[in-house]
Amino acid sequence: QTGPVIDMPVPASFNDITQDPSLENYIGWVWYEKEVLLPPRWLQEDLNTRVVLRFDSAHYYSIVWVNGVQVMEHEGGHLPFEADISSIIQGSPGIPCRITVALNNTLTPHTLPPGSIQYMNDKTRYPKNYFVQNTRFDFFNYAGIHRPVVLYTTPSVYIDDITVTTTSSESVAMVQYQVSVVGSTLYSLSLSLRDQEGKVVATGDGPAGELKVLNPNLWWPYLMHENPGYRYSLEVKMQAQVNGALLEDVYTLPVGIRTVHVTSTQFLINGRPFYFHGVNKHEDADIRGKGLDWPLVVKDFNLLRWLGANSFRTSHYPYAEEIMDLCDAYGIVVIDECPGVGIKMAESFGNKSLQHHLVVMEELIRRDKNRPSVVMWSVANEPASELPPAAYYFKTVIAHTKALDPSRPVTFVTDANYALDRGAPYVDVICVNSYFSWYHDEGHLEVIPLQLTTQFENWYKTYQKPIIQSEYGADSVPGLHSDPPLMFSEEYQKAMLREYHSIFDKKRKEYVIGELIWNFADFMTNQGTTRVLGNKKGIFTRQRQPKSAAFVLRERYWKIANESSCLPPIIKSNTLFL
- The verdict on 381 and 464 lying in the same domain is yes
Amino acid identity of residue 170, one-letter, is E
349-372 residues labelled b (16+ CB within 10 A) or e (exposed): beeebbebbbebbebbbebbbbbb
Per-residue model confidence (pLDDT) at position 95: 84
Is 382 marked active-site? yes
**Residue 11 within a domain:** no
**Could you tell me if residue 3 is inside a domain?**
no
Helix axes 351-368, 390-404, angle to 10 degrees: 30
Which residue range is the domain that position 49 belongs to? 21-153
Distances in whole angstroms, Cα of residue 112 to Cα of each of 355, 385, 390, 483: 11, 16, 15, 43
Read off the CATH number of the domain in which 119 is found.
2.60.120.260
Domain assignment present for 189 = yes
Query: How far is CA 279 from each of CA 65, 300, 315, rounded to the nearest angstrom?
Result: 40, 11, 10
Specify the number of domains making up the chain: 3
Residue 8 lies in a domain: no
Q: What is the pLDDT of residue 70?
A: 98
Q: Are 285 and 430 found together in one domain?
A: yes
Q: Verify that 383 and 404 share a domain, yes or no.
A: yes
Q: How far apart are CA 170 and CA 477, in angstroms?
A: 50
Phi-psi region for residue 464, left (φ > 0), alpha (ψ -120 to 50) or beta? left
55 and 184 share one domain: no
CATH code at 244?
Answer: 2.60.40.10
Domain match, 72 and 101 both: yes
Q: Which of 225, 255, 285 is the last residue of a domain?
A: 255
Within a domain: 509: yes
Averages of pLDDT over runs of 10 residues in the chain (578 residues) are 86 97 95 94 86 97 97 97 95 87 97 96 95 94 98 97 94 98 96 98 98 97 97 98 94 98 98 98 97 98 98 97 98 98 96 98 98 98 97 98 98 97 98 97 98 98 98 98 98 98 98 98 95 96 98 98 66 41
Helix (H, G, I), strand (E, B) or coil at 42: helix
User: Of the residues 153, 173, 194, which one is the last residue of a structural domain?
Assistant: 153
3-state class (DSSP) for residue 263: coil
Whether 164 and 122 map to the same domain: the answer is no
35, part of any domain:
yes
Cis-peptide, bond into residue 207, ω within 30° of zero? no
Residue 10 resides in a domain? no
147 and 165 belong to one structural domain? no
User: Are 313 and 369 in the same domain?
Assistant: yes
Are residues 135 and 233 located together in one domain of the fold? no
| CATH classification at residue 457 | 3.20.20.80
Residues 326 and 428 in one domain: yes
Closest by CA to 338, choosing from 325, 326, 356, is 356
The answer to whether 222 and 273 have CB atoms below 8 angstroms apart is no
Torsion of CA 517, 281, 406, 360, to 10 degrees: 140
Mode of pairing for the β-strands spanning 467-471 and 430-433: parallel
pLDDT for residue 566: 55
Please tell me whether residues 164 and 137 are part of one structural domain: no
Please give the Cα distance from 514 to 28 (Å, whole number): 40
Is the domain of 106 the same as that of 174?
Answer: no
**End-of-domain residue from the set 103, 125, 153:** 153
CA angle 528, 387, 512 (to 5 degrees): 80
Return all residues near 335 (Cβ < 8 A) that are at least 6 apart.
276, 311, 312, 313, 314, 375, 376, 377, 378, 411, 431, 470, 516
DSSP-derived letter for residue 38 is P
Contact 184, 274 (CB under 8 A): no
Q: Does residue 144 lie within any of the structural domains?
A: yes
Instruction: List beta partners, residue 79.
Output: none
DSSP-assigned letter for residue 424: G
Catalytic residue, chosen from 337, 382, 471, 515, is 382
